[in-house]
Every structure is written in C-alpha cells, then in structure tokens.
Structure 1
Amino acid sequence: MTQAHQHTSHGDIGHHGHGHGGGHGGTQQDGDSGQAEILELDAEVLAEHIASITAWLPLEVEPRQIVDLGCGTGAGTFALLERFPEAHVTAVDASAGHLQFLREKACARGVSDRVRTVQTDLDTSRWPDLGTPDLVWASASMHHMAHPDRALRSVHELLAPGGMFAVVELDGFPRFLPADATEGRPGLEERAHKATDSFHAEHVPHRGADWGPMLAAAGFDVQDERTVTVDIAGNRSEAVGRYAHGSLQRIRGAAASTLSPEDLAALDELLDVNSPHCVLYRDDLAVRTERTVWAAHRS
C-alpha cells in the first residue's frame, strides 16, 4: 500500500511501507534502500530471537509450503528456511527493491530454489495466487494493514485445512539508550518516542493491538500466545550501534516538529558521526523491546 504501510520489521518510523512498499521522502528506490539497511540490521541483531520464535511454533507437522506476508528483506523467510529444511517459502511484499534484495540473498545462500517472491499490495481485496500454505508467517506487517479484518479473512481462506497462522508483533520501536541519557537531557529517547505518538495514531492505528480476538473473529482457533522479551547488550554486536543510529535517525524525522529545540539539538548530537557523543561510539547501548506471537490454526 502507498499510504498506510514492515519488520521487520521492528517499528514504524522509517518502516512506513514495510511489507507494502511506499515510504516518505525521496524516491521509491531511496526509500527501499534506507529501509533495507534498517531491516538487515534488525535481522542481524535479533537473529536469535527470531530463531527462538520459529522453534516455539506449536506445529504438529513440519510445514512444506510457507507464505511470508510483508517479508521485507527476508529476516523471517531465511529463519523459516533454516528452521524447516524441507520447506519452500513464498515471500510477499509490495517493495520491488526489498524482493530483489531477498532474491540476491537467496542466491548467495544457495536456497534460491526454495524461494518464490510475489510483489503485491496486501491491502487489495483480491490477492494473487499464493498457493495453499501449511504455515503463514506475518512479522511486524499485520498492523500496517489498512483493513486488517479483511487481511485476516484472506489468510484464513489461503491456509490449508489445519494450517497455522503465526502473527508476530512488537510493542513499538526498540529503546537503545539508558534512562539517564543524554547528559543534560536525561530521558531524551523516551521523549522522542512520545513525540511520534500522533504519527503512529494516524498512520499505524493497529500497532500494539491484541490480535487474539481479531484472529478468533476471522475464524481462527488461537492455540497459543507468547511474549518474548528482548534485551541485548550493545557489546554483544557492533551492529547494535549502527542499528541505534539508523533507528534514531528515522525517529527524528517524525519527532522533529514536536520536540523542544533543546531535545532536538541533543538528538542531533547523538546522530552526528563527527561528534564524540555520537550514538555509534557509546558503550552503554542495549536493544530493549518485546515481541508477542499468536499461533492460530484454521478452524
């Protein structure tokens, strides 16, 4: 879709369009490139957590046909291919750039024969032929749907009898800084997040929704629900600094008009790669967020 909107993959600022193409500012290609960079960092930093979710899925039989809705650059696609070595994945997204990136990665990893990509807008009333999957995976993409009820019904019709729908959603954009950061402006990150509330209310009103009742209303039997807490110390991966920098840069775009001049100046210093106070050089970073997973069967 072009207006309203993956993980992601992990949040919404700068992912306006994840799973559906689009984006704000610059050309479509620029938007795809910027989003792809964040999605790749997200996949790298949170790889263990994605793997733990795929391992947890309460499946009685390993799926052979999987659809990844709003696949982005393929974090879920490749985690599912690794978890289910006999499976084939149909990766669906509206972004041609993301799908091209995914195909290149599939070739590099030697699994291109197990991946099919489909470019489509998931907010259209009629989806293309996606086969009859045993498992449909939607990570940080359902809350971007303009008509989530319709999308849920489409998934229900798509699934093989007894098939599973796994919905993975985050509670919001990850936090990276300690609460007392920055010096002179403690609590800066939280205020920056708060400054984006009106953006999210307008563009992604379903973020943070309880998908259990909506799944049940669409005819699914919700078998299980799990919340995964993410707390990754920055010293575990040098990618955390780049992930924080790219994420805060995107938050700035939506928060700039609402933040105080003092907060905006402090945020800009965090983003200035020539400043010794840049977030890239901090040794107190962490990635903190939560993911909730709903595992539902087609009744």
Structure 2
Amino acid sequence: MRAAVGTVRPVAAHSHHHVRTHDGIDWSSRLNALRQADELDADARRVVARRIVRPLPDHPTVLDVGCGAGGMAVALVEALSARGGGTVVLVDATPELLDAATTAARTAAAYEGDTAKAAVKVRPVLADLVTERPVDLAGPVQLVWASNVVHHLPDQRAAVAGLVEAIAPGGWLALAEGGLEGKFLPWDLGVGEPGLQDRLAAARAHWFALMRENTEGSVRMPGGWNTVLAELGMLDVTAFSFLVDHPAPAKQAVRDWAVERLRWHHEVAGHLLHPDDRRTTRRLLDPQDPAYLGLRDDVFLLMASTVHLGRRP
C-alpha cells in the first residue's frame, strides 16, 4: 500500500508477480484480508468520505494514496457522485491491490440507480511513493487521502511533505494514522491464559518497531502527526476519530476477519509470544478445534482510527 509512473498503463496489463514493498511485506498476499476489513469498515468510511469531501470545490480531484483493496476509493466515489462528480486517482505500488481497487471504484462509479448521480472518473496509477512524487502522478489535487500508508515508508515526514506538495492551494490532506488498536477477543477465551489480546497487541507493536528499524533508509518521526502537518505549513490542523464497532454475537464476516487478523498476528509476531500463547493461537486458528475462532459467538470487532486534517495555504 505505498505508492511507478505518471503515465497510466492499462491496469489489466500489469505483470502479476509477488513483490515485497519497502516494509518487507508481500501486500498481494494480503488482498483477501484487506477486502474483509473493507467490508466491515464500509459504513464508517462512507461517513468519513462525506465529511472530507464536503469543503471541496465542484468536480474536485481526489488522490487516494496506498489505496489497498479499494474500500475508501468506493466511499470517495459515492461521496463525489452525491455532490456532482469529480475524479478519483488511485495510487498503489502493488499491482494486485491496484487492480482490485480500480475494479471496485469503477463499479461504484458506474452505479446508475439514481439518475441524479454524476459520473466520477477513476484513474489508476501504479507507483512507488519512495521514488515518485505524488504531484507528478496526479497533482495538483483538492484532497489527498492517505490511510495507514505513510508508516510503511522509510522517511515518513518526507512522505507527508510529498503529499502536501501534490495539493492545490486551499486543498486538504486527510492522513489516517494511529487510533486505538483493534480488539476482537474476549479477555478470557476459556483456553490458554486470559489476556491474550493484550499480549498479541504487545507482540505486534514490537514487530512494528522492528519493521520500521529494518526498513532501508528508515528515518524516525520528529513527533506527532499534527506537529509534522504544522511544520509543513498546513493550516487548520485538527483531527477526528471514527469507530468501527461490530459487537458480539457478530455476523460470520466478523468472525472470518478475526481469524484472518489472528493468523496475520501469528505470522508476523508469533515468534515474539510465549510458547503457551503460540499454542493457544494455533488452537484458535484450527477449524477442527472446539475453540476455533471462526465458530465462536464471543468474537467482535472494536477499533478506532484517527484522521489528521490540514489545509494547504
């Protein structure tokens, strides 16, 4: 989910081979998990999309950087359709994700259920934000949306500066970074030691710190996101958070997401857990085990994400 070229190539023509980005993650293998999360976040993202496009001029161009599987792209297309149309430029470094996002966004853009809906153009760009300047890919734009992408880039402050550079005067940056770690397990699962969720979160945080350290050219942040936006000359710097809340007993899609989420935790940070917790995790991931997460009624999803906003003078 990071951002090849200002020239737009037909998305279907990309050669699909598994590529690891600067963070060492094979994002194409994460496509299914990203789609699952998009489905569960959809309602919350619609509200966010309407909120961030509200101050924009007519027929704006919106840049969705690190578009992933396209969940926010769909929400942005719907929000722009409802206010007369515009253009959504999708940027990602992983061809499989860009394909998925483009298909989802174009499907949403072609929605004709209401004749009042205006067309929204969707333009995909395969690009790596470490080597490409966003302003060359799409700029100047009226809004940049970047969700959980900057923290995967070596120099986060420089990456934000590049996003700001792509914004037209008076335009907005919406940077979704941080919030509250998602919870999905009850404190006591009845198997293993209670408090597994907290230990998983600690292991994942440790893994994340190592991922940042091991990213080539990694530069530490000088402080919080609002500080960086202010230093880069942005005005009206503020933030808001949104909640994704699917309480137990949850629909099967939430359980499937939880299984995938736990599997991801186990893959990247399982080696940092106590052997007893690793055993418990394997039980929760085993469809033949009575403790299998995918069949439990006490699985839920509760997560808060923070969006940092700033306006370019």
TM range (shorter): 0.7 to 0.9
Work out whether 1:65 is the aligned partner of 2:65. no
Partner of residue 260, structure 1 = 274
Aligned match of 2:200 in 192, 196, 217?
Answer: 192
Distance 1:171 1:297, change over 3 A: same
Distance 1:110 1:297, change over 3 A: closer
Q: Distance in 1 between matches of 2:34 and 2:80?
A: 22
Work out whether 1:87 is the aligned partner of 2:86. yes
Q: Find the structure with the greater CA-based Rg.
A: 2
| Per-residue deviation, 1:72 | 0.6
Give secondary structure in 2 for the equivalent of 1:78.
helix
Partner of residue 7, structure 2 = none
Q: Tell me how large the CA RMSD over aligned residues is.
A: 2.6
Distance 1:182 1:171, change over 3 A: farther
Give secondary structure in 1 for the equivalent of 2:169.
coil
| Per-residue deviation, 1:50 | 1.0
Partner of residue 297, structure 1 = 311
Q: Distance in 1 between matches of 2:277 and 2:164?
A: 46
Partner of residue 11, structure 1 = none
Aligned match of 1:77 in 73, 77, 83?
Answer: 73
Calculate the TM-score normalised by the size of structure 2.
0.80
Distance 1:22 1:199, change over 3 A: closer
Q: Distance in 1 between matches of 2:103 and 2:241?
A: 32
Q: Is the 8 A contact 1:222 1:294 kept in 2?
A: no
Q: Distance in 1 between matches of 2:103 and 2:122?
A: 11
Q: Distance in 2 between matches of 1:245 and 1:122?
A: 31
Partner of residue 217, structure 1 = 231
| Per-residue deviation, 1:120 | 1.0
Q: Is the 8 A contact 2:23 2:152 kept in 1?
A: no
Give secondary structure in 1 for the equivalent of 2:287.
coil
Distance 1:59 1:74, change over 3 A: same
| Per-residue deviation, 1:23 | 4.7
Give secondary structure in 1 for the equivalent of 2:271.
coil
Q: Is the 8 A contact 2:283 2:289 kept in 1?
A: yes
Q: Is the 8 A contact 2:241 2:306 kept in 1?
A: yes
Task: Give matches, 1:223-242, under 5 Å.
Answer: 223-242=237-256
Aligned match of 1:41 in 36, 41, 53?
Answer: 36
Q: Is the 8 A contact 1:68 1:77 kept in 2?
A: yes
Give secondary structure in 2 for the equivalent of 1:174.
strand
Partner of residue 7, structure 1 = none
Query: Which runs of 5 or more residues in structure 2 are unaligned?
Result: 3-18, 111-118, 214-219
Give secondary structure in 2 for the equivalent of 1:196.
helix
Work out whether 1:274 is the aligned partner of 2:288. yes
Q: Is the 8 A contact 2:226 2:238 kept in 1?
A: no
| Per-residue deviation, 1:142 | 1.8
Could you give the per-residue CA deviations for residues 30-73 of structure 1, whole angstroms, max 9, x where no partner exists?
Answer: x50x3111111111001111112123336153552000011111
Give secondary structure in 2 for the equivalent of 1:131.
coil
Could you give the per-residue CA deviations for residues 218-239 of structure 1, whole angstroms, max 9, x where no partner exists?
Answer: 1211343112233321445321
Q: Distance in 2 between matches of 1:130 and 1:255?
A: 37
Give secondary structure in 2 for the equivalent of 1:160.
strand
Partner of residue 124, structure 2 = 117
| Per-residue deviation, 1:214 | 0.4
Work out whether 1:170 is the aligned partner of 2:184. no
| Per-residue deviation, 1:258 | 2.0
| Per-residue deviation, 1:75 | 1.0
Q: Is the 8 A contact 1:21 1:95 kept in 2?
A: no
Q: Is the 8 A contact 1:71 1:91 kept in 2?
A: yes
Q: Distance in 2 between matches of 1:81 and 1:98?
A: 17
The one-letter amino acid of 2:184's match is F
Instruction: Out of 90-99 and 123-132, give the one that drifted further.
Output: 123-132
Task: Give matches, 1:9-20, under 5 Å.
Answer: none
Task: Give matches, 1:148-159, under 5 Å.
Answer: 148-159=156-167
Query: Which runs of 5 or more residues in structure 1 are unaligned?
Result: 3-16
Q: Distance in 2 between matches of 1:84 and 1:229?
A: 22
